[in-house]
């Protein structure tokens, strides 16, 4: 049993309702992941606020990956999801890597999963997107 869990990326908030957290520019409201000193959109340095993103979004584009590093199972689906106006890259889970099973505009929901546990019992948690109920936006 894991002693604790750590997110694979700093912008994944774990807990009762896992979600992603973006840094939003106070000047132009552009959103980014991870810490920022300046805005890549407006060039401003007025600061950033943390913004929780919705856990459901729309699949905007995807690709089926068939070649990967040794040890990474292929094929799998990588996509870009719109979460309330913020584009997020992530793998799709719970869906076959078949273009006939995927649709641009389908609704997806953030999901988290174990990436493994180290010898001290610390479990790494990753995120992806699974089809939401009904799937059609």
Helices (H), 74-137: none
- Domain with 52, as residue range(s), is 4-136
Q: What is the pTM of this model?
A: 0.89
Quote the pLDDT of residue 110.
98
Nearest residue to 1 via CA among 124, 126, 123: 123
Q: Which one-letter DSSP state was computed for residue 54?
A: P
Distance CA 97, CA 63 (A): 9
Express each pLDDT in 24-76 by its tens digit. 999 999 999 988 899 999 999 999 999 999 999 999 999 999 999 999 899 99
Tokens of 116: 């493994």
Tally of domains within the chain: 1
């Amino acid at each position: 049993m894991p002693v604790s869990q750590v997110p694979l990326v700093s912008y994944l908030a774990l807990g009762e309702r896992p979600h992603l957290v973006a840094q939003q520019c106070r000047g132009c409201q552009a959103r980014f992941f991870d810490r920022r000193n300046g805005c890549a959109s407006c060039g401003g340095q007025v600061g950033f606020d943390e913004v929780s993103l919705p856990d459901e979004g729309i699949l905007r584009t995807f690709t089926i990956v068939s070649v990967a590093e040794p040890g990474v199972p292929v094929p799998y689906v990588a996509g870009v999801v719109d979460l309330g106006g913020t584009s997020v890259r992530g793998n799709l889970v719970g869906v076959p890597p078949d273009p006939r099973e995927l649709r641009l505009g389908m609704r997806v929901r953030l999901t988290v999963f174990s990436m493994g546990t180290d010898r001290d019992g610390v479990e790494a948690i990753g995120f992806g997107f699974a089809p939401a109920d009904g799937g059609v936006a």
